[in-house]
Amino acid sequence: MTSRFSSTPRRRTVVKAVAATAAAAPVALAHAVPATAADLAPAFLHGVASGDPLPDGILLWTRVTPDPGAVPGSGRGADTPVRWEVAEDRDFTRVVARGDVTARAAGDHTVKADVRGLRPATVYHFRFTAGGTVSPAGRTRTAPAADATAPGIRFGVVSCANWEAGWFSAYRHLAARADLDAVLHLGDYIYEYAAGGYPAGENGVRAHAPAHEIVTLADYRTRHATYKTDPDLQALHAAHPVIAIWDDHEIANDAWAGGAENHTPGTEGDWAARAAAARQAYFEWMPVRASTEGTVYRRLRFGRLADLHLLDLRTFRSQQTGIGDGDADDPERTITGRAQLDWLKAGLAGSDAAWRLVGTSVMISPVAFGSLPAYLLGPLVELLGLPKEGLAVNVDQWDGYTDDRRELLGHLTAHNIRNTVFLTGDIHMAWANDVPVQAATYPLSRSAATEFVVTSVTSDNLDDVLNVAPGTVSLVAQTAVRAANRHVKWVDMDGHGYGVLDVTPERTQMDYYTVSDKTKRDATAAWTRSYRTLSGTQKVERVQQPVR
């Protein structure tokens, strides 16, 4: 489908739990980005981006370096006037909108322009100018009109891009596709660890900056800026609008409302201050509109074809339950918070779209874990920090908050809400699941929805953690998982890459792609598998080829 619209941290979340059961852009940058601010001032060293497409608008982003000393996080540099332009053509001979903003030190010299008055389902080109310097040009697309009968939409889908763990080749391959309406980033856009912390120093391909674990506002700004110097990430943002939510590593590992596994108040200060700093830097550095509560849960519409409900599963959640302490079913514990769950339920029930897509940073499908031979269980327990007395359930997922899941799935079945598809990241593996109301009796009991989980861009999965060849140890684990979970139709524990989600009125299909070697800058990408959900079925089925 081409033209659908006119014109040693302890966590690897499910990597831990599952392992214990066995994992050239269509629009090239207009100018080469200077290597340092000294080459050109003002300078656009961190690329350009767009996001959160609306039928009549788009959010534009860039960062200006007004002088060589105004590095991200420094608080230095003069306030700088910036002009933005949106055009119908890449040569900017038909400019349809322009305006002025100011890059201020108080905002780390990042700027956003929430442009309105554009035409639906239309490709536009955009750029910025500061002090006579013109930024690289970007390409973006608006959403179809809210009441339009759109024949199809297509998203790139990614998550979990650890700077140190590999090169961002997956971004490069998505940037090279001219057929995407947007890219959905499901979290862990950055990682908070110190250089050499995860993965272990000798396994990294490049070092984080700053070198220490990020805690302060300046730290988070510097880390975001480091990621946005990556040419493949810049190409992705220049080629497609990005729709992003955060998971935990944008703040700290296994974050919850009052703290995180990777936060020590005695040495790292007040949690609320750290979380506020992380969120401020996120909204400064990402092409994302904040919700009214200052979080990332929000809703975007793509004609009458799909409503996209985007969740924040860190800001409001209760602390993760301890392994085996029996609190996962406590109705007082929540992963969404009351207001967000009510908002989601109302949005799903009130939607008149053909498909209800839900962007969720952690897996909603229940997972039970089968047994493993001792020769495999011992090394996995040692490497992944699991309790030696037994296998862990991944309590960082919806499995640790079963009352919220029970309420949401009960809402879908009670109101006969069909065609709900959860889109998930976090666990560094690819999955295709039915979402059962009662996992223990499935498939005799019904499936309320389906779920497509994408693997990581670079973050370690099973073969990386165990330092074994792909497709060896993982086969044992994958077999054990599927045997214990009949609703899991496929799981890949070793690949790195991305997904391409294609939505038509008749079906939603996820094509899974893997890169050849995340440690190689010139890694190739290849299609691996495809699964789809036919309208009205609430089940996934394998497809033998990707959508063309």
pLDDT in tens, 164-195: 999 999 999 999 999 999 999 999 999 999 99
Q: Is the pLDDT of residue 9 over 70?
A: no
HSE on the CB side for 500, CA within 13 Å? 28
Dihedral angle over CA of 493, 325, 256, 261, nearest 10: -70
CA distances from 261 to 21, 219, 249, 258, 367 (A): 23, 19, 11, 11, 22
pLDDT at 279 (0 to 100): 97
- Scan for tokens 């011992």, then name that residue: 378
pLDDT at 457 (0 to 100): 98
Give the relative orientation of helices 402-414 and 338-350 as an angle to the nearest 10 degrees: 20
CA nearest neighbour of 433 among 460, 397, 462, 467: 397
pLDDT at 315 (0 to 100): 97
Average pLDDT value for residue range 348-368: 96
Dihedral angle over CA of 10, 16, 17, 19, nearest 10: -160
pLDDT at 372 (0 to 100): 59
Sign of CA dihedral 89, 92, 96, 98: positive
Average pLDDT value for residue range 277-291: 96
pLDDT at 383 (0 to 100): 41
pLDDT at 125 (0 to 100): 98
pLDDT-derived band at 213 (thresholds 50, 70, 90) equals very high
CA nearest neighbour of 340 among 408, 436, 399, 247: 408
Q: Is the pLDDT of residue 545 over 90?
A: yes
Mode of pairing for the β-strands spanning 298-302 and 259-260: unpaired
183, 159 Cβ separation under 8 angstroms: no
Q: Is the pLDDT of residue 209 over 50?
A: yes
pLDDT-derived band at 290 (thresholds 50, 70, 90) equals confident
Q: What is the rounded radius of gyration, in angstroms, for the C-alpha atoms of the chain?
A: 22
Q: Is the pLDDT of residue 388 over 80?
A: no
pLDDT-derived band at 414 (thresholds 50, 70, 90) equals very high
pLDDT at 7 (0 to 100): 33
Average pLDDT value for residue range 489-508: 97
Amino acid in the structure at residue 102:
T
SS (H, E, C) 222-242: HHHHHHCCCHHHHHHHHHCCE
Candidate from 226-235, 288-297, 407-416, 452-461 with smallest mean pLDDT: 288-297
pLDDT at 199 (0 to 100): 81
pLDDT at 17 (0 to 100): 36
Sheet holding 497-503, edge to edge: 110-115, 57-63, 48-54, 242-244, 182-185, 153-158, 497-503, 507-515, 525-534, 540-543
Structural tokens at position 453: 């989980």
pLDDT-derived band at 328 (thresholds 50, 70, 90) equals confident
CA angle in degrees (0–180, nearest 5) for 257-262-264: 85
pLDDT at 34 (0 to 100): 43
Q: Is the pLDDT of residue 429 over 60?
A: yes
Average pLDDT, the chain: 89
HSE on the CB side for 85, CA within 13 Å? 17
Q: Is the pLDDT of residue 20 over 60?
A: no
> Using CA atoms, how far apart are residues 400 and 314, in angstroms rounded to an integer?
13
> Using CA atoms, how far apart are residues 237 and 485, in angstroms rounded to an integer?
37
Structural tokens at position 65: 């370096």
| Distance between start and end Cα atoms, the chain | 6
Three-class SS state of 341: helix
More confident residue, 134 or 15: 134
Instruction: State percent of the chain over pLDDT 90.
Output: 77
CA nearest neighbour of 121 among 27, 6, 240, 26: 6
Mode of pairing for the β-strands spanning 420-424 and 355-360: parallel
pLDDT digits (tens, 9 = 90+) for 105-159: 999 999 999 999 999 999 999 999 999 999 999 999 999 999 999 999 999 999 9
115, 95 Cβ separation under 8 angstroms: no
pLDDT digits (tens, 9 = 90+) for 25-65: 333 333 334 444 445 689 999 999 999 999 999 999 999 99
CA nearest neighbour of 464 among 526, 518, 524, 386: 518
Average pLDDT value for residue range 269-292: 95
CA nearest neighbour of 13 among 498, 384, 431: 384
Q: Highest-confidence range of 33-42, 216-225, 316-325, by mean pLDDT?
A: 216-225
Q: Is the pLDDT of residue 380 over 90?
A: no
Q: Is the pLDDT of residue 392 over 50?
A: no
Q: Is the pLDDT of residue 13 over 50?
A: no
pLDDT at 325 (0 to 100): 61
CA nearest neighbour of 206 among 187, 173, 230: 230
> Using CA atoms, how far apart are residues 359 and 42, in angstroms rounded to an integer?
37
